[in-house]
Amino acid sequence: MPNIILGLAGAIGHDPAAALYIDGELVAACEEERFIRRKHAREAAPYLAARACMRIGGVRGQDVTQVAIPFAPISLFTKARWHYAYRHWYAPDRAIDSVLNGNRRYRRYRRDLSSLLDKLHIPAASSQVIPVQHQLAHAASATLINPYEGRTPIFCSDAKGEYSAIFLGYAEAGKIVRVKEFYNPDSLAGMYAALTDYLGFEALDGEFKVMGIAPFGDPNKYDLTSLAKFNGRRLKINNHLVGTVGIRRYKAQSKGHYFSRQLVEMLGPRRVGNLIDDPYVHYAAAIQALYEDLAVRIVKSYLGDMIHETGRLAVAGTSSLNIRLNQKLGEIDGVKELLINPASGDAGTAIGAAAFAASKQETQLKPATHFFTGPKFTRNQCVEACKGHREKPVWEILDDPHAKAVELLQQGEVIGWFRGRMEFGARALGNRSILADPSQPDIAKRINKLVKFRESWRPFSASLLESAADDYIDRGNLQSYDEAMALSVKTTAKFRETYPDIVHVDGTARLQVVRDENNADLHNLLSLFADATGQRLLINTALNRPGEALVCTPEDALNAFHGTDLNYLILGDLLVSKREEVDDW
């Protein structure tokens, strides 16, 4: 009888997802937001994601032997709950609750889980629920999915789990060992989220904008070091300023924020104008610099010797979505290989929890070689989507979709590209993408005008052939390439001169290295484009409209296509264009 483990994420109110392991192999992983078309799918359960995983794996509810969740009860006799209470002494109700009722979230989640399992027809009698501590699930998502010989040091930084916000440890022989944990409110990600809130953005999405604008500011113009201190062993976030609770929280229009009135008195009003204005652009630079400095010092202090021994560092947690922080971690002396899960946020804990549960079985985990783990669609399904769409698009079946795409790209078209299985994680990796020739004049402005409407200071990413990597990327000491757009990389002078539209103001770029082994379909397109033009890369940004989740189905792709000014969409083996408007006059 096969061992079938369903991982379910979304225990703290956002980014619900599901993952399916069968006999130690990851066969499917999906995010709920892709199905309900609501980014981050706040307060939703991973119902449709789980159904999709089970359908991909050919599994019925009664076949599931274990359900792994990235949330676990924390004993009253651990330091975590008492640390939280001690650090929130100014809010006695919160402090007492953390001690006496510390597992209320876990209990609530177990109640919600029972209802979800009923809907999925997973019988409680035959399926065992495996609770996995949140940071362990993050750590597993970056290490157990691709086991290495020897030790793999792990740095996991997250806004919050049960209590732990930072996990330092290592993976070895299928096990994860703790070295050190820091507990809330001493959270680097929480500190960054508080400044994101202060700068006028919502947490989970605004951090990308703060990170993107930071290179335009001067990190030394304003001193934010009072927000946090690290003395080599102990991290302390100043919760008089950020990460505050209760009556100390700053409130405006009945909404509580992640910072205090005292922070506003120190820095001035919460941002109401342009982010690039003084002082806000410099605050963004200063918080990014502080974030990087503290993370690097913590990693060196607790994992430095192990990094020199192994040459590796695995990173996970929501902080790993900060590509500039990842760049700094990759520059730590001794790091030759930086391991980053493409789904390093909370959605990835579905994979991590399932992998952790699977690692306890006798079956050895099989490496997860790619993250195209969602549904795929047949030609007939694409045709039926076109036939049934309200806009009545024009479509034709292509003998060679790749050749047609190259032809359109050479003509300067920006095209939608929908093929194969859906990606898992925060970035489009080549199966649900918008593609363009980076050498076209003002190409970033054109993409923004056609579909993205992003701030002009946010550069687009690109996918390139491995043969071009060393010509364009200054890797420093790293011996590995970024295959998941999870890392900001220094670029060569040749790249900056040739492709200025995809280079940030500090000379960095987000470049996905594509090999035949990790995405044969996109590799084929890049190879044909290189043969035709001599250029070994394409701009690659997510196929969605602003504020939407990445598209999942052919219908989603058609909706996004018709909601933009794109002229062409490659939908599987179809070329889709828009019907000409008829003038009734």
- Separation between Cα atoms, residue 256 and residue 18, nearest integer Å: 31
Residue 341: pLDDT band by 50, 70, 90 thresholds? Answer: confident
Give residue-wise pLDDT tens across range 223-266. Answer: 999 999 999 999 999 999 999 888 889 998 878 899 999 999 99
pLDDT band at 419 (very low <50, low <70, confident <90, very high): very high
For 25, counting Cβ atoms within 10 Å of its Cβ (0-12 exposed, 13-18 middle, 19+ buried), the class is: middle
Q: Topology of 4-145+343-359 in CATH? A: Nucleotidyltransferase; domain 5 (3.30.420)
Average pLDDT over residues 78-94: 85
Secondary structure (H, E, C), 417-442: EECCCCCCCCCCCCCEEEEECCCCCC
For the chain, give the percent of residues with pLDDT over 70: 99
CATH class given for the domain over 188-340: alpha beta
- Contact present, 354 and 324 (Cβ < 8 Å): no
Write down the mean pLDDT value for the chain: 93
Greatest pairwise CA separation for the chain in angstroms: 79
Determine the Cα–Cα distance for residues 246 and 93; give it in Å rounded to an integer. 9
Q: What is the pLDDT of residue 582?
A: 55
pTM above 0.85, yes or no: yes
Q: Which residues of the chain does CATH 3.30.420.40 include?
A: 4-145+343-359, 188-340
Structurally, at CATH architecture level, domain 379-577 sits in: Alpha-Beta Complex (3.90)
Please give the average per-residue pLDDT across 288-297, as a whole number: 98
pLDDT interval class at 67 (50, 70, 90):
very high
Residue 307 pLDDT greater than 90, yes or no: yes
| pLDDT of amino acid 547 | 87
| 346 has pLDDT over 60 | yes
Q: What are phi and psi of 573, to 5 degrees?
A: -100, 15
C-beta pairs of 404-413 under 8 Å, 24+ apart in sequence: 404/570, 404/575, 405/435, 405/525, 405/570, 406/525, 406/528, 406/529, 406/532, 408/568, 409/435, 409/436, 409/437, 409/529, 409/538, 410/437, 410/532, 410/533, 412/437, 412/440, 413/567, 413/568
Q: What is the pLDDT of residue 155?
A: 98
Task: Write the pLDDT tens digit of every residue in 379-392.
Answer: 999 999 999 999 99
Q: Mean pLDDT throughout 71-81?
A: 91
Does residue 287 contact residue 224 with C-beta atoms inside 8 Å? yes
* Residue 98: predicted pLDDT: 82
Within a 10 A sphere around the Cβ of 484, how many other Cβ atoms? 21
| Per-residue model confidence (pLDDT) at position 85 | 85
Q: What percent of the chain has pLDDT over 90?
A: 79
Of the candidates 524, 501, 523, 498, the residue with the CA atom closest to the CA atom of residue 512 = 523
Instruction: Answer whether residue 401 shows pLDDT above 80.
Output: yes
Does residue 1 surpass a pLDDT of 80? no
Note the pLDDT of residue 364: 81
pLDDT at 457 over 90: no
To 5 degrees, how large is the angle CA 309–CA 312–CA 314? Answer: 135
CA distance 80 to 106: 15
pLDDT digits 0-9 by tens, 159-181: 888 999 999 999 999 899 999 99
